[in-house]
Amino acid sequence: MQHLTYQTLDGSRAALSPDELDALAQGIRGGILTAADADYEQARRVWNGMVDRHPALIARCLGAQDVRHAVDFARTHRMLLSVRSGGHHIAGNAVADGALMIDLSLMRTVRVDPEQRTARVGAGALLGDLDHEAQGVGLATPLGINSTTGVAGLCLGGGFGWLTRKYGMTIDNLLSADVVTADGQLRVVSATEEPELFWAIRGGGGNFGVVTSFEFRLHPVGPQVYAGLVVYPFAQARRVLQAWRDFAAGAPRELSVWTVLRQAPPLPFLPESIHGKEVVVFALVHNGDPDEGERLAARVLEFGEPVGSMLGTQPYAGFQTAFDPLLTPGARNYWKSHNFAEIGDELIDALIHGASNLPGPECEAFIAQLGGAMGEVAETDTAYAGRDANFVMNVHGRWQDAADDDKVRDWARGVFRDTAPFATGGGYVNFLTEDEESRVDSAYAQNYARLQQLKQRFDPDNLFRMNQNIAPAALARTA
The domain limits of the chain are 4-103, 110-220, 224-431
Q: Which of 323, 302, 301, 321 is nearest to 310 (CA)?
A: 301
Query: Could you tell me what percentage of the chain is helix, strand and coil, using 3-state DSSP and rounding each to the nearest 5?
Result: 35, 25, 40
Dist. CA 343–CA 321, nearest whole Å: 28
User: Is residue 347 classed as helix, strand or coil in its secondary structure?
Assistant: helix
pLDDT of the residue at 418 = 98
β-strand pairing of 118-122 with 174-180: unpaired
Question: Residue 16 carries which side chain, given as an amino acid letter?
Answer: L
- Closest to 94 (Cα-Cα) out of 51, 137, 135, 125: 51
The confidence score (pLDDT) of residue 81 equals 98
Distance between CA 396 and CA 409 in Å, rounded?
9
- The CATH architecture that domain 110-220 belongs to is 2-Layer Sandwich (3.30)
CATH code for the part of the protein at 224-431 = 3.40.462.20
* Per-residue confidence (pLDDT) for residue 478, from 0 to 100: 64
CATH architecture of 4-103: 2-Layer Sandwich (3.30)
Low-confidence residues of the chain: pLDDT under 70: 1, 476-479
* Distances, alpha carbon 70 to alpha carbons 24, 60, 103, in Å: 7, 10, 10
Predicted local confidence at residue 221, as pLDDT: 97
* Maximum Cα interatomic distance, the chain, rounded to a whole number of Å: 70
Q: Please give the torsion angle defined by the CA atoms of residues 253, 444, 104 and 151, in that order, rounded to the nearest 10 degrees.
A: 0
Q: Which pLDDT belongs to residue 2?
A: 82
Beta bridge mates, 435: none
Q: What is the pLDDT of residue 218?
A: 98
Buried b (16+ CB within 10 A) or exposed e, 292-327: ebeebbeebeebbebbbbebeebebbbbbbbeeeeb
| 29-59 pLDDT per residue, tens | 999 999 999 999 999 999 999 999 999 999 9
Q: Are 161 and 428 in contact (CB under 8 A)?
A: no
Residue 404 and residue 222 in contact, taking contact as beta carbons nearer than 8 Å: no
Q: Measure the CA–CA gap between 185 and 458, rounded to whole angstroms.
A: 10
Under 8 Å CB-to-CB from 456, ≥6 apart: which residues? 472, 473, 474
In 344-404, which residue ranges form alpha helices assigned H by DSSP? 345-355
